[in-house]
C-alpha cells in the first residue's frame, strides 16, 4: 500500500508532494508542487483501503478511464483535470489546485448564507451539473464539502468526481452504494435502481437546503422508512422566500418521478427567469452591410469545425480591413461592427448547441472576474479554462481541438485578441 508523504518526489522529481488535502471512501488527494513552473496542483489517487482490496487493479483501470473522460468535462465551475500520472504502480489524477474554502467550511465559519448568495453559487453549480449530464455522467456526490469557493472571488467550483458514473436513461444500473447521508436520494441506498439526472437534482436541492438553514437534511432512508419527516428549510430560516422553499421541497421529493427531472427544470423553479445559456434562436439575416455569412453557416451546419474556424478568421479579417496584414490590432477590434460579431456568435452558438461562440467565451471570462481592463492573471486563467493554454503555455493553431470533445468555449479560436472581450461587452453580446 502506498500513502504519499510530504516532500516525496513524483515522476522523477517533476512534482513534490506538499500535504494531504482530504480523503473519502475511494480516494485521497494531495497538493503537489510542479518544480519547473512553481505551480501547485492537486493529485488524487485511490486510498490505502482501496489499494488493499482484491480487485484493486480493476479499480485502477476504472479510475484512469474516469479521469480521461472527466478531462473532457471542461467548464468554468468544474475542477479541471489535466492528466494522469503513474508512480510506482499507483495512478494519480492531476487536477488544478483550487485555493479556497469549501461551502461546508464557509457555512461553519459564517453561518447560513443569504438567499441571494446561496442562489448565486447554486446556479453556478447547476450549470456545471447540466454540462456533466450532457456528457452522459452523473456526479452522485453533490454536497457543500464538494463545492469550493475560489479565494477572493464569488465563484464556485465543483470537485470530487470519485462517485461519478455514466448512466443511460430508463436502464436499471448497478452502482456502488457509497453516498453522503442527508444529500443522497433514496435510489442511492439501492445496489440496483433507476438513476438519472434527477438523482443529482435531489443532492443539489439538499445542498441549497443546508446552505440556507445551516443544517444537514434528514437522510432519505429515514424518510422512506417513516422514521422522520423532512422539515421545510424555512422552519429554520424565516428569510427564505416561499418560491425557494417550495423549490427545495420539490427537488427533494422522496420518489424520483416526483422531482424535476433535470437540473434546468429545477433551477427554473428557483428562478423563472433563469437562463444559464443564451437561448438559441433562428438567425434571420446572414448578411451584414459588410459580409455574407452563408458559407460560415453551411460549414457549421455540417459540423466542419476546422473549416468554420478558418472561415471565421477569414471573414473577420476582411470586415476589419486586416486581410493583408493577416492579424488583428487593438484598433481594428475596438471598431469591429457589433452587427457582424452578433451574426458570427449566433451561428456558432446555434450549431454547437451552446458549446462554442463568443458569448460563451465572454460568460466564462466574466465569471473569472474579467473586465474591459487587461489582467494577465485573469486572461491566463481564461486561457486555461477554454483550452487555449496547456501546462502554462499558450497553444498554437496546430493544437486547437476541432470537435465537440473540445473544452467549452474553445472555438472560435481568434488568437491574440484580448480586446475582443472588451468589444463583446460593448456590443452586449
Residues 6+ apart with CB under 8 A from 230: 217, 218, 223, 249, 252
Rounded to two decimals, what is the model's pTM? 0.62
Position of cell 481568434? Answer: 414
pLDDT digits (tens, 9 = 90+) for 34-87: 999 999 999 999 888 888 888 888 888 888 887 877 776 777 788 888 889 999
Q: Which residue spans within 153-206 are E strands per DSSP?
A: 156-158, 165-166, 172-174, 192-194
DSSP 295-330: HHHHHHHTT-HHHHHHHHHHHHHHHHT-TTTTS--H
- What's the pLDDT tens digit per position in 26-35? 788 999 999 9
Q: Using 50, 70 and 90 to split pLDDT, how confident is the model at 153?
A: confident
Beta bridge partners of 17: 32
Domains and CATH numbers, the chain: 9-96 (3.30.200.20), 103-270 (1.10.510.10), 294-426 (no CATH)
Mean pLDDT, the chain, integer:
85
Cell numbers describing residue 201:
437534482
96-149: pLDDT as tens digits: 898 899 999 999 999 999 998 999 899 989 988 888 887 777 888 899 999 999
d(CA 96, CA 102): 15
Amino acid at each position: 500500500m502506498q500513502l504519499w508523504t510530504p516532500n516525496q518526489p513524483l515522476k522523477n522529481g517533476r512534482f513534490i508532494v506538499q500535504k494531504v488535502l482530504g480523503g473519502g471512501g475511494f480516494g485521497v488527494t494531495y497538493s503537489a508542487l510542479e518544480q519547473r513552473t512553481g505551480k501547485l496542483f492537486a493529485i488524487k489517487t485511490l486510498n490505502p483501503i482501496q489499494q488493499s482490496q482484491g480487485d484493486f487493479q480493476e479499480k485502477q483501470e476504472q479510475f484512469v478511464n474516469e479521469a480521461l473522460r472527466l478531462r473532457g468535462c471542461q467548464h468554468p465551475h468544474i475542477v479541471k483535470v489535466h492528466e494522469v500520472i503513474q508512480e510506482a504502480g499507483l495512478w494519480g489524477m492531476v487536477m488544478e489546485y483550487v485555493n479556497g474554502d469549501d461551502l461546508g467550511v464557509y457555512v461553519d465559519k459564517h453561518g447560513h448564507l443569504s438567499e441571494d448568495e446561496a442562489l448565486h453559487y447554486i446556479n453556478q453549480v447547476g450549470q456545471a451539473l447540466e454540462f456533466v449530464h450532457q456528457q452522459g455522467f452523473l456526479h452522485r456526490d453533490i454536497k457543500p464539502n464538494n463545492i469550493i469557493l475560489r479565494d477572493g472571488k464569488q465563484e464556485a467550483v465543483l470537485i470530487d468526481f470519485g462517485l461519478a458514473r455514466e448512466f443511460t436513461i430508463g436502464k436499471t444500473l448497478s452502482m456502488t452504494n457509497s453516498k453522503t447521508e442527508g444529500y443522497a436520494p433514496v435510489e442511492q441506498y439501492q445496489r440496483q435502481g433507476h438513476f438519472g439526472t434527477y438523482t443529482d437534482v435531489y443532492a443539489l436541492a439538499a445542498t441549497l437546503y443546508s446552505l440556507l438553514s445551516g443544517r444537514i437534511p434528514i437522510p432519505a432512508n429515514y424518510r422512506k422508512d417513516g422514521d422522520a419527516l423532512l422539515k421545510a428549510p424555512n422552519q429554520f430560516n424565516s428569510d427564505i422566500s416561499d418560491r425557494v422553499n417550495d423549490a427545495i421541497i420539490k427537488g427533494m421529493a422522496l420518489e424520483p418521478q416526483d422531482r424535476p427531472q433535470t437540473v434546468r427544470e429545477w433551477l427554473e423553479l428557483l428562478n423563472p427567469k433563469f437562463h444559464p445559456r443564451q437561448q438559441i434562436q433562428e438567425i434571420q439575416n446572414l448578411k451584414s452591410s459588410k459580409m455574407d455569412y452563408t458559407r460560415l453557416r453551411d460549414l457549421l451546419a455540417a459540423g466542419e469545425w476546422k473549416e468554420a474556424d478558418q472561415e471565421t478568421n477569414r471573414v473577420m479579417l476582411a470586415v476589419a480591413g486586416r486581410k493583408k496584414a493577416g492579424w488583428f490590432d487593438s484598433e481594428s477590434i475596438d471598431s469591429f461592427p457589433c452587427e457582424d460579431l452578433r451574426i458570427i456568435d449566433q451561428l456558432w452558438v446555434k450549431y454547437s448547441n451552446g458549446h462554442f461562440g463568443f458569448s460563451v467565451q465572454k460568460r466564462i471570462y466574466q465569471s473569472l472576474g474579467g473586465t474591459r481592463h487587461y489582467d494577465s492573471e485573469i486572461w491566463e486563467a481564461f486561457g486555461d479554462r477554454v483550452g487555449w493554454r496547456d501546462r502554462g503555455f499558450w497553444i498554437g493553431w496546430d493544437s486547437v481541438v476541432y470537435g465537440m470533445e473540445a473544452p467549452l468555449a474553445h472555438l472560435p479560436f481568434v488568437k491574440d485578441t484580448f480586446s475582443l472581450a472588451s468589444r463583446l461587452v460593448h456590443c452586449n453580446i
